Amino acid sequence: MALRADRQGPHRVAFEKNKRVLLKTHNTCGICGKPIDKTLKAPHPLSPVVDHIVPINKGGHPSSIENLQLAHWTCNRQKSDKLYSVKDEAPKVVGNRNLPQSTDWASYGG
Ligand SMILES: [Zn+2]
């Protein structure tokens, strides 16, 4: 089952629950290892966000706590920028809808 949305159905419920657990039990960023000030709110760069350790589009679980970690907003952002810049060698002018041919879309939708 390759459900990739973490914002709908059972995954959303589990994600929200695990987010609360992480906020309660973790104080540091899973990416840079530094403390997180939980009083900060997005879009503050150092506000807490829940990061998918393995991104959903790389096969990571959308809502399992084993695939979630607390991270700084900015660290999470840099992580995804890095993931996409490594993979995406196409020029930036490519429109959002032009998905790279290199991606194995056939493996989605299971
Ligand atoms: Zn961080």
In a domain, 110, yes or no: no
Residue 56: domain span? 28-86
CB atoms closer than 10 angstroms to residue 37: 11
Burial class (CB in 10 A: 0-12, 13-18, 19+), 82: exposed
Q: In the structure encoding, which two tokens stand for residue 43, read together?
A: 């879009």
Q: What's the CA-to-centroid distance between 103 and ligand 1, angstroms?
A: 29
In a domain, 105, yes or no: no
Q: How many separate domains does the chain show?
A: 1
pLDDT tens, residue order, the chain (110 aa): 455 555 568 899 999 999 999 999 999 999 999 999 999 998 899 999 999 999 998 999 999 999 999 999 999 999 988 877 655 555 555 455 655 556 565 665 54
Q: Which amino acid is at 82?
A: K
For every residue of 17-68, DSSP letters joined together read HHHHHHHHH--B-TTT--B--TT--TTSTTSEEEEESS-GGGT--SS-GGGE
pLDDT at 77: 93
pLDDT at 38: 95
Q: In the structure encoding, which two tokens stand for residue 94, read together?
A: 């490519």
In a domain, 61, yes or no: yes
In a domain, 22, yes or no: no
pLDDT at 1: 47
pLDDT at 80: 84
Q: What's the CA-to-centroid distance between 31 and ligand 1, angstroms?
A: 5
Q: What's the CA-to-centroid distance between 45 and ligand 1, angstroms?
A: 9
Q: Are 72 and 46 in contact (CB under 8 A)?
A: yes
Q: What's the CA-to-centroid distance between 35 and ligand 1, angstroms?
A: 8
